[in-house]
Amino acid sequence: MKPVTFNNTVLRDGHQSLAATRMSTAQMLPAAPILDEIGFSGLETWGGATIDSCLRYLNENPFDRLRALKKAAPKTPQIMLLRGQNIVQYTSFPDDVVEAFVRANAAAGQDVFRVFDALNDTRNLATAIKTVLDCKKHARGEICYTTSPVHTIEAFVKMGIELEGMGCHSIGIKDMSGIMTPKIAYDLVKELKGKLGIPIVLHTHDTAGLGAAAYLAAIEAGVDIVETSIVPFANGTGQPDTVRMLALLEGHPRRPDYDPAKLQQLRLHFEDVYQQLSKFTSPANERVDSDILVFQVPGGMLSNFRNQLAEQGMADKFDEVVREIPVVREALGWIPLVTPTSQIVGTQAMMNIKFGRWKMICQPAQDIALGKYGKAPGPINPEILAMCEKQTNSKAVTCRPADLLEPGLEGYRSQCAEKGLPTTDEIAVLFAMFPQQIEALVKGVPAAESKPATAPAKAAEVPAQIPASSGSGVNGCREMVLTIDGRRHHVLVEKLEA
């Protein structure tokens, strides 16, 4: 069996998980040529919350970052994380906007697209995957791993077979909460390798201390690639460290050969960067936290949740709220907890404790129950569904949600033109998701002075934004629609930075 290889995540998920996505392009560029020389299978450099962070906090054009990193590390494929029909936001966008985003991204140098959907609804992946294939780029279909009565190895393998049938070049197992045990990692990889003819990649976090052990088991089962990072942007809520994984594989026939001197260079560089970003780091994100195994909440969200509850005057209710999370999750069809569903479930759990169970339902939770985010893996609680249908005076959606959205790209172009902005695909798709931020960037307004977005610019009817933030994401204000005693109230919630 050939050696396993590593993708490196330090330039995306590493700092997203451990430093609030605040690493700048200038801090990345000295490391990029070294990363490029090591021989990793890929470098994850883009997507997830980095687009938001570039615009909202760093005064950077994210496409310029991609071009700069591609120039600095031309040999190694560059990887991005794409939320399917949500792109890199929290709501569904029309097909033409998704297509334009992928085309612009591919033209800027992106090589590999990790495409996932929070509900594992493959209908929400179809447009993005097809466009990636049309652009002659690598489509990696992601399976979001979680546990519940409806999430079985058989179900995950079935999804993998479907993704291969859609044309994916590889399959990623996305263990966003770091809850995959070694036995499950072995069995799932073994089954996928036995049924599929394309490479399998495992992505996890070491939040519960299981990440490295899961990787070892997956390597025994034949996984093709695992994803590691570089200390100090590694371990804890991040991916296992590269040097650590190499040590664990010492003497193993599948151990890859990466230059230890170059890895040490990277560590020294990133230790300096970590110090520069110290206001965004926290010991809580660096340590193993077994609570994740009980509540299945992504590690970054769990640590951030304490702060959010304190802001709501509910610091003493933390245990009650996290115990409520599985209750909400079951009622909403056992949805996986990953952006944006982790934020929705956490917010609804908080409301259940604060106001009484299901006395107040935030609009995103209603939208999940009504199928506006896609088909949930399990059945929606019929009482909650009936309540949401009554409160919204609407019936549940059974088609692919994006089928209800009118084309929006030309509308976004027109809005850009009206504001004196370029009307390229790059600017139009960024405007669709972050209108205030991209306008501020183009017009030279410092990031700190740009107004936070309350919702995407409207060219089509889309679900409301998500109010809460996970520790691995970045947020400003979010619009919420609360239903209290049958009446809908629009409110704006702002998460304040410490």
Please report where in the chains the tokens 């050696």 appear, as a residue.
3
* Distance separating alpha carbons of residues 25 and 200, to the nearest angstrom: 30
**What are the residue boundaries of the structural domains of the chain, listed by start?**
5-280
pLDDT band at 301 (very low <50, low <70, confident <90, very high): low
pLDDT tens string 413-423:
999 999 999 99
Tokens of 214: 């899961």
Does residue 38 have a pLDDT over 90?
yes
Which structure tokens are listed for 188? 């799932």
The confidence score (pLDDT) of residue 299 equals 57
* Percent over 70 (pLDDT), the chain: 88
- Say if residues 381 and 367 touch (Cβ distance below 8 Å): no
The reported pLDDT for the residue numbered 492 is 42
Give the span between the Cα atoms of 385 and 332, in whole angstroms: 9
CA distances (Å), origin 292, targets 73, 177, 206, 305, 339:
35, 7, 10, 13, 16
pLDDT greater than 50 at residue 454: no
| C-alpha to C-alpha distance for 242 and 249, rounded to whole angstroms | 11
Residues 103-130, buried b or exposed e (16+ Cβ, 10 A)? bbbbebbbbbbbbbbbbbbbbbbbbbbb
pLDDT at 183 over 60: yes
Q: Map residue 267 onto helix, strand or coil.
A: helix
Q: What are phi and psi of 230, to 5 degrees?
A: -125, 130
Percentage of residues in the chain having pLDDT higher than 90: 79
pLDDT at 459 over 90: no
Using the predicted structure, report yes or no on whether residue 264 has a pLDDT greater than 70. yes
Q: Shortest CA distance to 352 belongs to which of 342, 362, 363, 366?
A: 362
| pLDDT value of position 485 | 42
Assess whether pLDDT exceeds 80 at residue 486.
Answer: no
pLDDT at 412 over 90: yes
Q: What's the average model confidence in pLDDT over 228-240?
A: 96
pLDDT given at position 470: 32
Q: Which of 176, 110, 96 is nearest to 138 (CA)?
A: 110
Least confident of 95-99, 305-309, 404-408, 414-418: 305-309
Cα–Cα distances (Å) from 483 to 52, 280, 366, in that order, read: 29, 35, 9
CA distance 428 to 5: 37
Residues 156-177 have pLDDT tens digits of 999 999 999 999 999 999 999 9
The per-residue pLDDT for 456 is 42
From residue 275, alpha-carbon distances to 23, 26, 56, 123, 248 in Å are 11, 15, 21, 43, 27
* pLDDT value of position 462: 34
pLDDT at 447: 66
Q: Which two tokens stand for residue 203?
A: 């992505």
Contacts of 368 (CB under 8 A, 6+ apart): 332, 333, 335, 341, 344, 376
Cα Rg of the chain, angstroms: 21
pLDDT score for 460: 35
Q: If you average pLDDT over residues 85-101, what whole number do you get? A: 95
Task: Tell me what the mean pLDDT of segment 46-61 comes to.
Answer: 95
Phi, psi of 405, rounded to the nearest 5 degrees: -100, 130
Residue 449 pLDDT grade (very low, low, confident, very high; cuts 50, 70, 90): very low
Q: How confident is the model at residue 343 (pLDDT cuts 50, 70, 90)?
A: confident
Instruction: Tell whether domain 5-280 is in CATH 3.20.20.70.
Output: yes
CB contact at 8 A, 366 and 392: yes
Q: What is the average per-residue pLDDT within 260-275? A: 98
Lowest mean pLDDT among 99-113, 217-231, 359-373, 435-449: 435-449
pLDDT tens string 466-478 = 333 333 333 333 4
CA 274 → CA 15, 34, 211, 331, distances in Å? Answer: 9, 18, 22, 40
Scan for tokens 């399959």, then name that residue: 171
Q: Can you spell out the DSSP letters for 7-41?
A: EE-IIIIIHHHHSTT---HHHHTTTHHHHHHHT-S
Tokens of 101: 């985003």
Most confident of the following: 47-51, 181-185, 277-281: 181-185
Report the pLDDT value the prediction gives residue 482, as an integer from 0 to 100.
52
Least confident residue range of 16-20, 121-125, 339-343, 439-443: 339-343
